[in-house]
Amino acid sequence: MTAKDKLILALDVYTLEEAKDVINRLKDVVDIYKIGSQLFTACGPEVVRYVLSQGKKVFLDLKFHDIPNTVASAVGSAIQMAKIGENQNSIFMCTVHTQGGVEMMKRAAEAARDMSFQLGVIKPLIVGITVLTSDGKTEGVASLVLERAQLAKKAGLDGVVASSQEAALLRHELGQDFVIVTPGIRPKGADAGDQKRITTPFDAISNGSNYLVVGRPILNAKDPVQAAKDILGEIEAAPAV
């Protein structure tokens, strides 16, 4: 994987036009875009299909959490939503909450495999939310994250979303093939905002994270393109794990 393959830009904007503007400005340096509750509530499937139409990848971060059947149906619908015509478009990654339990996660993983096979598209990565990086609690967090990540692996998920502060532990305990997606990334000198458990891009990759989710440090920068390039530079400089 190159540095560009590891960077996910959070499209935390309010309108489709804003999203289009961001993608147009950053299309040469960013290939993966996170669509979360804010933008999806405003634009729905249209924004997903727009990102895919630009040849980019979609990380659909809707954090599904419900009874197993409902979550399985939601994952299937997400894959159907992304398919355009006869091509191989699909979402790249999708989130569910590990707190939903093993059966819920298992059904989500099965739905992803089954629907992808049925439609003839590449199966998206299904990753579980462990503990939000905005949670300021520190006592017992590492053991809780590990416990939830172990359940996610048992259920057949591809990986988890976790702070890079737990990434080294997860990598050691769950192996090299388990995907770790890390939000709360802040370049050196950046404002933490509402994130509590943050790390730099260099440290996150060094700790074993596969993908880094970055939003405000790029979106709010005076020069978003240069900000993204600087982050890519930090990723590139980090030792491979």
Who has greater pLDDT, 197 or 20? 20
Structure tokens at 21: 């503007």
Q: What are phi and psi of 214, to 5 degrees?
A: -130, 135
Q: What is the pLDDT of residue 88?
A: 59
Say if residue 192's pLDDT is above 50. Answer: no
CATH label of the domain that carries residue 224: 3.20.20.70
Tens digit of each residue's pLDDT (9 = 90 or more) over 149-169: 999 999 999 999 999 889 999
What is the domain count for the chain?
1
Mean pLDDT of the chain: 91
197-228 burial, b at 16+ Cβ within 10 Å, e below that, comes to: bbbbbbbbbbbbbbbbbbbbbbbebeebeebb
Q: What is the pLDDT of residue 216?
A: 92
Domain hosting 79: range is: 3-237
Q: What is the pLDDT of residue 136?
A: 57
CA dist., res. 36 & res. 83, Å (int): 19
Active site residues: 63
Q: What is the pLDDT of residue 203?
A: 92
Q: What are phi and psi of 59, to 5 degrees?
A: -100, 105
CA dist., res. 155 & res. 128, Å (int): 10
Tens digit of each residue's pLDDT (9 = 90 or more) over 99-158: 999 999 999 999 999 999 999 899 999 999 998 766 556 678 899 999 999 999 999 999
